[in-house]
Amino acid sequence: MNGDASPIVRLMRALLIPVLALIMALLLGAVIMLVFGDDPVKAYRGLLYGAFGSGRGWATTVRKMAPFILTGLSVATAFKAGLFNIGAAGQFLMGTIFSVFVGINFQGLPVFIHLPLALLAGLLGGMLWGAIPGLLKVTTGAHEVITTIMLNYVASLFAGWTVYAGGSQGQTPGPLWDPTAGPISETPDVLPSAQLPWIFGPPYRVHWGIVLVLAVVVLIWWLLYRTTIGFEIRTVGQNLKASKYAGIRVNWTIVLTMILAGGLAGLAGGIETLGVNHKFAPEFSGSVGFDGITIALLGQTHPFGVVLAALLFGALDAGGAKMQFDSGVAADIIQVIQALILAFVAAPAIVRSIFRLKRTPEQVKPTVSTSWSGPG
Amino acid sequence: MSRKRVWKTSSIVSMVLAVGLVVMAILVNTTSLSQQTWLRVLFGVSALNFALRATVPLVLGALSGILCERSGIINIGIEGMMLAGAFAGFVVKVATNSWPLGMSLMAGVLAAVLIGGVMGLLHATLSIRYRMDQIISGTIIIILAAGFTAYLFDRDAVAEGKFVAMPIPGLSKIPVLGEVLFNNPPLTYLALILVVVLHVALFHTRWGLRTRACGEHPRAADTVGINVNRYRYMNTTLGGMMAGLAGGFLVLEAVGQFQEGMTAGRGFISLAAMIFGNWMPFGALGASALFGYTQALQNELLLAGVVNVPRHFISMLPYVVTIVAVSGFVGRVRPPAAEGKVYETESSA
């Protein structure tokens, strides 16, 4: 339709709604803070300074980007096939556990074998956890929204068990628990041969994982837009019936997409563990799951858009602690702002009516399967 | 298999199961069978009481889902509406601690229901007026509720007192059954009554017929002069209120305090209960009871320590049962035909 528009014009168009959505969410966030007696100016200054005000701020922002990119990419890839993957949190955890398992075992392997093996294990853990809802959907019609959420809880309990320190009444400790940690439930550190090397060491702590992640982004972009599989994934997402008539193996594509999505989230878990934490303890998991959804939508489900959205989320995360410290505003307000961003991005009609924009023909709406019935 | 036949078979199966449960419960709790740990775990009064307590928020959540989806709006935001309701109930309870307990609790319930309604209205507005994908809109409700409640939660606040059991005279004296069914706090009774009310309303009133028409064939409903979107707004708001009540139950009747993320997936499990119950109020009650019973079983197994399995695996039980139930039944139940789709009148399209 807009074939003659130059790439720059197209890029500007694609960025317009997300940027306006961000501005509106920040403004509304400020209003909310005012209503509840917080100082938004101080809060946002702290946020900005914490994220970009110093070398360490930048380093934290970039470090936090890595898992956000991959979980966002996981959700975005599933969206492409019309699947709603709320299970990134569980897939992330399974990836973490698998990576840690390889990372703390196999003493004596050289780095160039041990590290890739540990990363692959993370990928595999996530793939496994993504395959289950995919298979359930095509064989029984169970909707992935419910199965992935339930699997999140199962994964969280499973992960908790693997590092369980055992109870005071002599319950058996989990298989990955570090006996030297005493009553604390955590794994030992992964061996140095399985750790991602630093680009900038402490105190900056930026590791090579971020470069790896960017390579994965390009790979996924290539897969989605330059290969037959990617074409099939996108066709299934846009029109299930038509893709069936066109001879696409719909069920296989759905399972494959869920495996891919799960693998991406699992790799996120692996990279985060091998790069930053170097071990697993249940309190590390955080809220990566729902963040992935917002990032995917804010990035308009495009791999490169996801990177930009993840930059924003990395900054929000990195600046949140500083904001709370400087201004006393609870960092939880950031989650409210994120929900607002999501609302404005997912309903461009609101943004357009406020800024009196004309409808641009290129807005691609993410399509989500919106009924509980099976894949048809 | 037709919808009706599936419904009949599953009704009969659940009737048989329910009768079996009652017989076993009476036997175990009145005879020497109570010496058997396993039987006590499965059928003891404490297990059944726990099951009913766990069922209430699930069935209210499922009724919320039925209200919305029967009119054509998918509501995966039940979890968030519940959480918001729980929080509002808590805040108002804390603010009115000095009032007489009953008044204060009622105020809490009212607040929970109201805020649930507001969340429902927001969901309806986003998905009808702004044509947002309903699943994404529901997700926004969930994140918004989680963020707001964490941001505003004052960890030092304490709610004083909660609803206590109100035995129903006469009935509560029935052995076993009376203890389990007729000796409960008020919101439990209310939830059970609401199941009946919604069933009658959906299938025996004009409102119900019109609601179902909006969910099945909005174009036809529109043709005969029903304002489809008005029904959807109304039902989604009512559904939000129902989910808010579930949250109110958690804070004001079950736990007595608010905890961050205290809904712990109940909103999602109630969605599964709605599906499993074939979008019928009594079906939802049966499914919720099944899920509630699994939660009770999990609890009793942990307490009794009869199985040598790590507690983490026992705790997986409710979630795994939910997956199995949804997987086994989705293909055989049928959601309202028009749900999830924006309805545009001829003139606006």
Q: Per-residue confidence of chain A (376 residues) as pLDDT tens digits? A: 445 678 888 888 778 888 999 999 999 999 999 999 899 999 999 999 999 988 889 999 999 999 999 999 999 999 999 898 989 999 999 999 999 999 999 988 899 999 999 999 999 999 999 999 999 999 888 888 889 989 998 999 999 999 888 776 667 888 888 888 778 888 999 999 999 999 988 888 899 999 999 999 999 999 999 999 999 999 998 888 888 888 899 999 999 999 999 999 999 999 999 999 898 888 655 555 678 988 998 888 999 999 999 999 999 989 988 899 888 888 889 989 999 998 898 888 888 888 877 765 545 555 565 566 544 3
Which candidate from B135, B147, B151 shows the least CB-CB separation from A368?
B135
The alpha carbon of residue A197 is apart from the nearest alpha carbon of chain B, in Å, by 34
Q: Tell me if chain A has a CB within 8 Å of the CB of B307.
A: no
DSSP letter at A300 equals T
Distance of CA A156 to the CA centre of its chain: 16
> In chain A, what residues touch B334 (CB-CB under 8 Å)?
373
Contact A138, A83 (CB under 8 A): no
Distance of CA B90 to the CA centre of its chain: 19
- β partners of residue B233: none
Cα separation, A46 vs A348, in Å, equals: 29
Query: Which of B108, B285, B92, B281 is closest to B186 using CA atoms?
Result: B108
Cα separation, B284 vs B277, in Å, equals: 4
State whether B133 and A350 contact (CB < 8 Å): no
State whether A140 and B327 contact (CB < 8 Å): yes
Cα separation, A282 vs A372, in Å, equals: 32
State whether B312 and A172 contact (CB < 8 Å): no
Count of CB atoms within 10 A of residue B208's CB? Answer: 16
Domains in chain A: ranges and CATH: 39-167+175-328 (1.10.3470)
Q: Tell me if chain A has a CB within 8 Å of the CB of B135.
A: yes
Q: Give the contacts of B78 (CB within 8 A, at least 6 positions apart).
A: B61, B64, B65, B138, B239, B243, B246, B267, B268, B270, B271
Which candidate from A150, A366, A370 shows the least CB-CB separation from B323?
A150
Q: Give the contacts of A204 (CB within 8 A, at least 6 positions apart).
A: A55, A56, A59, A198
Fold of B3-7+38-332: ABC transporter involved in vitamin B12 uptake, BtuC (1.10.3470)
Ramachandran region, residue B343 (left: φ > 0; alpha: ψ -120 to 50; beta: rest):
beta
- For residue A321, what is the enclosing H or E element? helix A303-327
Query: Which of B57, B60, B34, B62 is closest to B47 using CA atoms?
Result: B34
Count of CB atoms within 10 A of residue A52's CB? Answer: 14
The CA angle A264-A266-A267, to the nearest 5 degrees, is 65
Which candidate from B135, B310, B331 shows the least CB-CB separation from A145?
B135
- The 3-state DSSP class for residue A145 equals helix
Cα separation, B271 vs A369, in Å, equals: 16
- β partners of residue B167: B183
The pairing of strands A206-207 and A198-200 is: antiparallel
Residue type at B47 in one-letter notation? A
State whether A141 and B330 contact (CB < 8 Å): yes
Cα separation, B230 vs B210, in Å, equals: 11
State whether A141 and B144 contact (CB < 8 Å): no
- The 3-state DSSP class for residue B168 equals coil
State whether B147 and A153 contact (CB < 8 Å): no
Q: Tell me if chain A has a CB within 8 Å of the CB of B152.
A: yes
* pLDDT single digits (tens) A220-266: 999 999 999 999 999 998 888 888 888 899 999 999 999 999 999 99
Which candidate from B135, B312, B334 shows the least CB-CB separation from A84?
B135
* B330 CB-side CA count, 13 A: 25
Q: Tell me if chain A has a CB within 8 Å of the CB of B341.
A: yes
Give the residue ranges of DSSP H helices in A190-302: 209-226, 228-238, 240-245, 250-272, 288-298
SS (H, E, C) B36-64: CHHHHHHHCHHHHHHHHHHHHHHHHHHHH
Contact B240, B248 (CB under 8 A): no
Q: Tell me if chain A has a CB within 8 Å of the CB of B342.
A: no
State whether A374 and B330 contact (CB < 8 Å): yes
Q: How many pairs of residues across A and B have Cβ atoms under 8 Å apart?
A: 153
Which candidate from A146, A158, A340 shows the least CB-CB separation from B312?
A158
Q: At what angle do helices B78-95 and B101-124 cross, to 10 degrees?
A: 150
Cα separation, B86 vs B243, in Å, equals: 9
Q: Tell me if chain A has a CB within 8 Å of the CB of B294.
A: no
Q: What is the pLDDT along chain B (349 residues), one digit of tens a residue?
A: 455 665 666 677 777 777 787 777 777 777 777 677 777 777 778 888 899 999 999 999 999 999 999 999 999 899 999 999 999 999 999 999 999 999 999 999 999 999 999 999 999 999 999 888 888 899 899 999 999 999 999 888 888 888 988 888 888 888 778 888 888 899 999 999 999 999 999 999 999 999 999 999 999 999 999 999 999 999 999 999 999 999 999 999 999 999 988 888 899 889 889 988 889 999 999 989 988 998 888 888 888 777 777 888 888 988 998 898 888 765 566 778 888 788 877 654 4
- β partners of residue B166: B184
Ramachandran region, residue A37 (left: φ > 0; alpha: ψ -120 to 50; beta: rest):
left
> In chain B, what residues touch A174 (CB-CB under 8 Å)?
310
pLDDT value of position B211: 94
> In chain A, what residues touch B310 (CB-CB under 8 Å)?
161, 164, 171-172, 174
For A92, the token pair is 């992330």
Q: Give the contacts of A348 (CB within 8 A, at least 6 positions apart).
A: A17, A363
Selected residues 154-213 of chain B with any CB under 8 Å from a CB in chain A: none
Q: Tell me if chain A has a CB within 8 Å of the CB of B309.
A: no
> In chain B, what residues touch A171 (CB-CB under 8 Å)?
310-311
Contact B239, B274 (CB under 8 A): no
Ramachandran region, residue B72 (left: φ > 0; alpha: ψ -120 to 50; beta: rest):
left
> In chain B, what residues touch A339 (CB-CB under 8 Å)?
140, 143-144, 147
State whether B335 and A372 contact (CB < 8 Å): yes
